[in-house]
Amino acid sequence: MQQVFSGIRPSGVKNAGLPLSYSSDQLNAVPQFWTMLNMVRPVLTLEVTRKRWGLSNWLAFHGSGQSKKTEEFFNKWWKTRVPQTAADMKSLVTQAGSLIVKNSKVWGQPSVAISMSDARIDGWFSPTVMDAWEEFVSEHRHAKPTWSTFDRFVQSLGVIPFKSKECLGRLHVVNRFAELGFCELPTMVELGEWIADHPNLGAFGGLETLGFRMTSKNDVVLAISMINKEIIRVLGVEERKEISYSGITLENALCKVSRLFKFLPKLRKNLSLWVWAVTYLELAGVNVVNLDVTSFKNGADSYMVPSISVV
């Protein structure tokens, strides 16, 4: 399981030791431990992000799919010379030479929305975007905007690919700003409504894999609220602090549920979601002393509810 979380085919299966089709970040349930975020956090701090060119850098980071695959480029060029203009960004790309500067598979499937073209760079670093960002920062200097307010602002900029309703990259930009403390973390209502509006993405599928049957936004909000409440109950304050637990963590974990279930048959392991959860917690250093899974029925639907004791 540790190899799976690291994106490597475990021993005992075909092509053991070779990379899985997903990277470690795409299988890791906790964003706090992602390679891409450990790359960027020391560079695009809250102080840097508030600058006129701060948002532009985040748009470029997620718009070009910066990740483990582009780590050499990011560390050698971007990290040491944070661009302030489109010309600066283009110069870094040119100087990178043969290094990989974008990753169209950063979210799993190849995406034409991911690019590092001159046209995209001009959009991200345009005076219009930077003027709007300066104004937005000024307007909210005394109070944080909500997660949804900031999401609407980023979409309103009208730059590719973030203007699309289906843009997963915009979710990640907004989440990074929430983690930095610029905007509020998502509430369960905000998160539930976002998941309900994107039924073809991973989090909705994860809820369905867990047995939830949802026909309305309210159903989704209730489902994630139930899971959130259980996670808070079974994980102590220190464990939640260690993984920076929030609704962002929950949404990401739900995305990983469906991916994990695809791999279990290949691993020839009869593992329930909750055994996987315990394995992950133990690998993260959490001492799990008891796992008791019970089931209950709600009308025609059946649910499995874990009770995990940790010390």
Q: CB burial class (10 A; 0-12, 13-18, 19+) of residue 88?
A: middle
Beta-carbon count within 10 A of 215 CB = 8
What's 240-283 look like in SS3?
Answer: HHHCCCCHHHHHHHHHHHHHHHHHHHHHCCCCCHHHHHHHHHHH
Rounded to whole angstroms, the Cα distance separating 54 from 249 reads 24
Q: Quick check: 37 and 30 in contact, CB under 8 A? A: no
Q: Quick check: 192 and 207 in contact, CB under 8 A? A: no
Q: What 3-state DSSP class applies to 209?
A: helix
Mean model confidence pLDDT for the chain: 81
The residue to which tokens 């706090």 are assigned: 32
Classify 301 in phi/psi space as left (phi over 0), alpha (psi -120 to 50) or beta: beta
Would the pLDDT of 137 be above 80?
A: yes
pLDDT in tens, 7-48: 555 555 566 665 555 566 667 778 888 888 889 999 999 999
Would the pLDDT of 311 be above 60?
A: no
CA-closest candidate to residue 115, choices 103, 107, 126, 124: 103
pTM attached to this predicted model:
0.79
Model confidence at 304, in pLDDT bands (50, 70, 90)? very low
Would the pLDDT of 113 be above 70?
A: yes
The region of weakest confidence among 115-129, 152-166, 228-242, 294-308 is: 294-308
The region of weakest confidence among 97-106, 129-138, 262-271, 297-306 is: 297-306
The pLDDT value given to residue 175: 96
